[in-house]
Amino acid sequence: MVDDIAPDSVLRRTEIALRDVSVSYQSGKEGRKTVLSRLNLKVAAGEFVVILGETGCGKSTLLRLILGQEFPTEGAIEVDGKPVTQIDARCGYVPQKYSLFPDRTVLGNVMYGPENAKSRFVGRFRPSFFAFRRTLRAEAEEFLMGMGLRAQDMHKYPHQLSGGMQQRVAIAQALLMHPPVLLLDEAFSALDPSTRSSLQEQLRAVWLESKPTVVFVTHNTSEALLLGTRLILLGRHGEDRMGETNLVLDMEIPQSQLPLSARIRAREFQDLLEYVKQLAYKSSSLHADDPVADRIVEEGNLA
Amino acid sequence: MAQAFRVSDLTGIQVRPARLWTHSLSWILFVTGIALYAHFSIVRHQENPEDRVIPSATQLVQGLKSSVLEPAEEDDPLDPGATLLEQVRHSMIWKDTASSAGRFFIALLLLIPAMLLGMHMAVFPYAGAFFLRFVLFFDKIVALSLLPILFIVFGIGEWSKIMLMFIGVAPTLMLDTYNIAGGVPREQSVKAFTLKSTNLDVAYRVVLKQVLPQLINSLRLNLKPLALFLFAGEMIASTDGLAYRIAIMRRHMGMDIIIPYLLWVALLLFMLDALLRITNRRLHPWYQPL
């Protein structure tokens, strides 16, 4: 039933392109502060891109640019060949907090999008809409059960759920729209380790099943290497690097086709994790052409 | 296990008074007030048995009886064979309450679009840019100073009093709504747009629905200012209403009528506030006040 409202969204692949994107803003006495500088990036359809970087390096800004919530000071962003001019309803979005509507139950939250897509205003009083709603409810319940929720959770309000449950619902809310692009902004950062790994598995499974283009922002290195097929490491832009890009590393993650449990045990993964951690640590002062970065890219690709 | 009460608990922050203590403490000021009133009333009545400044219980009961069962002086006397219900319906307090309540509820209804405008100012940046500065300035104008203008524009009839209440309360309520609606996290509207919401969906189905409990609370806090402006209007130019009666009775030193009227007004506002509070809780079980 939900497929009726987005019949080809799963099949339609969406490419994201950023061309010479810079973002800066006036920051009181400090003058103009550059958050992103000359960023060129092309995300292929169906890729799982993880953006990693320390606080303030512009990774969330990058996500908001793709979403259309913010606009670059210079450069252009295109999704599916079209410039981003407003918040793009083709994107599913899961922020770190405030992702659920507090006045709606779990079911109300996940059904909100498909109901909007199906009908508006007068259309909601037609008998066909009530029939749609019944089928949607059944489908949403099944989907939520698959995400680890119980039948008794369906009519709970967000404040009655744990943080992990809330994020499960938030992901379900986005996924039920079958978005061709899924944007997650530190979506798991407030969760405990076991909930986090369980949600990582689920996200990975969803991606493998329908292959949406995923852009996942995190500051957790192992999560980045574990989940994605491609890693983008951003460094904080400083005055000493005016005009230079703050893209530190852009690499394919080796063995990304393996299941998470197998990847995490692989020795290459552990080595790579250590390298990227070191690189991320140094990233605020590191240039993209730093030999350490080259070595990591090289070894990462070889592994 | 609950700890025994210690005197030092009275100034403690991390103490949890037992239910009995909480209830008992909450009634102390009421009891003290009544006791003080009774004391001063007795003292004054010992000096002058006809004292009208602090009426005795008997005088108060008599005043209450004439308010509830007798028509106002300016009205025609009631048929001696009238039933109790007819007596109440033609009574002074009934007529005054109906007049004041009519004005009060019309003003209350007019505040709804004002609150919606405040919400629009927060949600739609152009609406905010257009209205905010003006409302901020208008809010600082003392509403009572506009009364002569209102009398000229609307006459001394109902609308001048209703507009006084509206002008007195609406700007503050609009600014409060603007702040409350502006406090809804940006993530919520962004999320709604990704879920195929239109601008109006975001304004009414996301923002308004979320802030409605806070708006009702804001309205509750403004009930008293609203009554204050109603009383000001009625005391200056009116031929009926609760405040009109209090003003008339003041001239006759009729404290036996004024005090029951005063308590009746407080009770009405208290009941309206409680009704809004209970409705708010029932309608919005998800609301978690800070």
Structure tokens of B227?
């009554």
Q: Which two tokens stand for residue A237?
A: 């832009």
C-beta atoms of B191 and A93 within 8 A: yes
For chain B (length 290 residues), average pLDDT per consecutive 10? 75 88 94 96 92 91 89 75 84 92 96 97 96 95 89 88 94 97 94 93 95 96 95 89 90 89 95 96 89
More confident position, A101 or A123: A101
The answer to the question of residue B235 being in a domain is yes
Q: Which pLDDT belongs to residue A5?
A: 43
CA distance readout (Å), B282 to A154, A257, B204, B270, B276:
20, 51, 20, 18, 10
Whole-angstrom Cα distance, residue A72 to residue A244?
16
B153 and B257: one domain? yes
Same domain, B167 and B227: yes
Position A41 pLDDT exceeds 50:
yes
- Please indicate, yes or no, if residue B71 is contained in any of the structural domains: no
Domains (range + CATH), chain A: 2-97+181-302 (3.40.50.300)
* B29 and B172 housed in the same domain: no
d(CA A85, CA B262): 60
Q: How many structural domains is chain B composed of?
A: 2
pLDDT of A297 reads 44
pLDDT on residue B290? 67
pLDDT at A164: 86
Task: Assess if residue B214 is contained within a domain.
Answer: yes
Q: Which residues of B touch A157 (CB under 8 A)?
A: 285-286
Residue B290 counted as domain residue: no
Residues B46, B105, single domain; the answer is: no
A48-53 and A230-234: which strand pairing?
parallel
Neighboring chain B residues of A86 at a CB cutoff of 8 Å: 193
Chain A environment of B287 (Cβ under 8 Å): 102-103
More confident residue, A285 or B232: B232
pLDDT greater than 90 at residue A31 = no
Contact between A265 and A258 (Cβ < 8 Å): no
A109 close to A161: Cβ distance less than 8 angstroms: no
The answer to whether residue B249 sits within a structural domain is: yes
Q: Is the pLDDT of residue A28 over 80?
A: no
> Cα-flanking dihedrals φ and ψ of residue A218, to 5°?
-150, 160
pLDDT tens-digit profile of A183-220?
A: 999 888 878 888 888 888 888 888 888 888 999 998 88
- Decide if B2 is inside a domain: no
- List all residues of chain B from 168 to 227 with a beta carbon under 8 Å from chain A: 185-188, 190-198, 201, 206, 209-210
List the domain range (segments joined by +) for residue B124.
92-283
Pair B47, B101 in one domain: no
Q: Are residues B97 and B47 in the same domain?
A: no
Q: Give the tens place of pLDDT for each residue, A66-122.
A: 999 999 999 999 988 889 988 988 899 998 888 899 999 999 999 999 999 887 777
* Token duo for residue A298: 């090289």
Task: Give me the DSSP letters along B190-249.
Answer: HHHHHTT--HHIIIIIIIIHHHHHHHHHHHHHTHHHHHHHHHHHHHHS-SSSHHHHHHHH
Assembly ipTM: 0.81
Same domain, B117 and B239: yes
Q: What does the alpha-carbon distance between residue A255 and residue A116 come to, in Å, rounded to a whole number?
A: 40
Kindly determine whether residue B185 and residue A112, on different chains, have CB atoms separated by under 8 Å: no
**Do B170 and B279 belong together in one domain?**
yes
Question: Do B177 and B270 have their domain in common?
Answer: yes
Residue B288 lies in a domain: no
Q: Where are the beta strands (DSSP E) in chain A?
A: 16-26, 32-43, 48-53, 74-79, 82-83, 91-94, 181-185, 213-218, 230-234, 247-252
| Sign (positive or negative) of CA dihedral A131, A132, A135, A141 | negative
Q: How close, in Å, is residue B197 to chain A by CA atoms?
A: 6
User: Read out DSSP for B113-135?
Assistant: HHHHHHHHHHHSHHHHHHHHHHH
Pair B101, B204 in one domain: yes
pLDDT in tens, A237-272: 665 555 667 777 888 877 677 777 777 676 677 777
Please check whether residue B140 lies inside any domain of the structure: yes
Which secondary structure element, helix H or strand E, spans residue B278, and what is its range? helix B255-283
Contact (CB, 8 A) for A101 and B206: yes
d(CA B66, CA B257): 8
Residue-level pLDDT at A97:
84
CB burial readout B212-236, b (16+ within 10 A) else e: bbbbbbbbbebbeebbbbbbbbbeb
Which residues are CB-neighbours of A175 under 8 A, at least 6 positions away? A92, A143, A182, A206
Residues B127 and B263 in one domain: yes
Give residue for tokens 């009083």. Answer: A125
Predicted pLDDT at A54 = 78
Same domain, yes or no, for B137 and B236? yes
Q: Compute the distance between CA of residue A16 and CA of residue A84 in angstroms, rounded to an integer.
A: 10
- Chain B residues whose CB is inside 8 A of the A91 CB are 194
CATH number of residue B117's parent domain: 1.10.3720.10
Whether residues A179 and B185 touch (CB distance < 8 A) is answered with: no
Task: Average the pLDDT over A138-154 and give the result.
Answer: 90
Compute the distance between CA of residue A10 and CA of residue A7 in angstroms, rounded to an integer: 8
Whether A67 and chain B come into contact, CB under 8 Å, resolves to: yes
Order of strands, sheet of A213-218, starting from the edge strand that comes earlier in the sequence? A91-94, A181-185, A213-218, A48-53, A230-234, A247-252
Q: Are the Cβ atoms of B210 and A103 closer than 8 angstroms?
A: yes
